[in-house]
Amino acid sequence: MYFERIYEEGLAQASYLIGCQATKEAIVIDPKRDIDTYLEIARRKNFKITHVTETHIHADFLSGSRELARVTGATMLLSDEGGPDWQYQFEHEGLKDGDTFMVGNVKFEVMHSPGHTPEHISFLLTDTPASAKPSMIFTGDFVFVGDVGRPDLLEAAAGIKGSRIVGAKQMFESLKRFKALPDYIQVWPGHGAGSACGKALGAVPGSTVGYEKIANWALQYDEEEPFVKALLEGQPEPPKYFAMMKKLNKVERIILTQVPRIEEWTKERLQKALDENMTVIDTRSKMLFAYGHIPGTINIQNNNAFSNWAGWLLDYDEPVAVICGAHEIDEITRKLMRIGLDNLVGYFTDIDGWIEEHPMQRLNHIEPHELEGVLKRNNAVVVDVRGINEYNAGHIKDALHIQLGDLPNRLNELDKDKNIIMHCAGGDRSSTACSILQKHGFKNVINLAGGYGAWMEMVLS
């Protein structure tokens, strides 16, 4: 048997390619949308991808199952569990609890594991030439290393009222089946640390059933009520784009079998876009952005959080352009298409040329030791753009909390006549927040250098 884990750090998302070395057939579980990764592995290892499957209707990325099936002709196997409201609305072969199928000599058994979502399934793998007993389970968003899938996304992100309690109770029952599995079975989840699909995900790629039974907080409960309470407490805000992913992963949509090629813009084309108030994302570092940026642009740095904040802040129905290096456009295009943002229409690289012809805007900052003096001398307000759990764990006195993803809808709560000091944990999110304010005409915007972390370090020193 051949096994390979493919991990996308930006979304902390894992997919898997498993092949039978005797028949050269392979399956991909939970593929991302830029499928050339799997095609290259199959080519390199001389496999034919004959099956594609996924554990559930994903909320945090756009599944590439349909792209992969179209290119390879693979059979698409998807859950038919969860009831009428949780059926995939496109052609596929349905899977139910207890179903089995073979990929060459590798056997897969379906285990319905609702809780995160009603239709969620997991896959027990048996390498039949080696043993008659299963050796792996692919758990998707059911069991993570150190955590379990959150059951509140359907209510928080998709607006399905009352589903969080139902989901938490289903998770409790599903975990009973998980605990009954042999301790030696390897656990391969769909996400790692950094995913918004749980609250305490570990960074280790995989685990075992036995280790999770002793180390995973969620598997320590024997009674439903305290488990439900603990599971629902402290979950982070679900990104706004999760609701769109739930829809697009369920219905017919545009299929992209290749990474799109994006047009490089001239200075004149960029100016036209800005004049038309098109959204332009400056993906450079926060330091370069602060030193000088094109007025009207928004700073979302091209780092591991780019997809998340693009999903929070960009409109799926409006065109967008990016400022980046020529060597970065393929990576950025992939990050956007992985969450279904197919409206990237151009990219601009010639910042030096722009500077020669246009004035640049700066983003001022203050150091933590200057904050108290600025607040005393000036008509100022501190705005904390971290998540609610971060804010509740500790915050600067009298700081107004507006989570970054909510900022565009809460601009009316801020006074343009005041000095507005933005901060997050370390300065990345607050740079984005400051750029949003500047785009909307706020002049007195200041970034707190180093964020809450630097401020706390000063306070404690």
- Is position 424 annotated as part of the catalytic site? yes
Beta bridge partners of 25: 48
pLDDT the model gives residue 200: 73
The topology (CATH level 3) of 2-248 is: Metallo-beta-lactamase; Chain A (3.60.15)
The CATH architecture one would assign to domain 364-460 is 3-Layer(aba) Sandwich (3.40)
Is the pLDDT confidence value at 156 over 70?
no
Pairwise pLDDT comparison (93 vs 378), residue with the higher score: 93
CATH class of the region 267-357: alpha beta
Token output for 67: 């792209």
Confidence of residue 202 (pLDDT cuts 50, 70, 90): confident
DSSP letters for 40-77: HHHHHHT-EEEEEE-SS--SSS---HHHHHHHH--EEE
Query: CB neighbours (10 Å) of residue 176?
Result: 10
Domain boundaries, the chain: 2-248, 267-357, 364-460
DSSP letters for 195-257: -TT-SS--SSS-EEHHHHHHH-GGGG--SHHHHHHHHHTTPPPPPTTHHHHHHHTTS------
The answer to whether the 267-357 and 364-460 domains have the same CATH topology is yes
43-76: pLDDT as tens digits: 999 999 999 999 999 999 999 999 999 999 999 9
Q: Which of 2, 10, 9 is nearest to 28 (CA)?
A: 2
pLDDT the model gives residue 274: 97
**HSE-up of residue 91 (Cα within 13 Å, Cβ side):** 4
| CA 252 – CA 119 distance, rounded (Å) | 18
- Could you tell me how far CA 20 lies from the centroid of its own chain? 31
Is the pLDDT confidence value at 199 over 80?
no
Is the pLDDT confidence value at 327 over 90?
yes
Catalytic residue among 20, 197, 324, 424: 424
Distance spanning both ends of the chain, measured CA to CA? 55
Instruction: Provide mean pLDDT across the span 10-39.
Output: 97
pLDDT the model gives residue 163: 85
| CA 214 – CA 205 distance, rounded (Å) | 17
81-128: pLDDT as tens digits: 999 989 999 999 999 999 999 999 999 999 999 999 999 999 999 999
CB-based contact 424:384 (threshold 8 Å): yes
Is the pLDDT confidence value at 162 over 80?
no
User: What mean pLDDT is reported for the chain?
Assistant: 95
pLDDT the model gives residue 342: 97
Q: What percent of the chain has pLDDT over 90?
A: 91
Confidence of residue 158 (pLDDT cuts 50, 70, 90): low
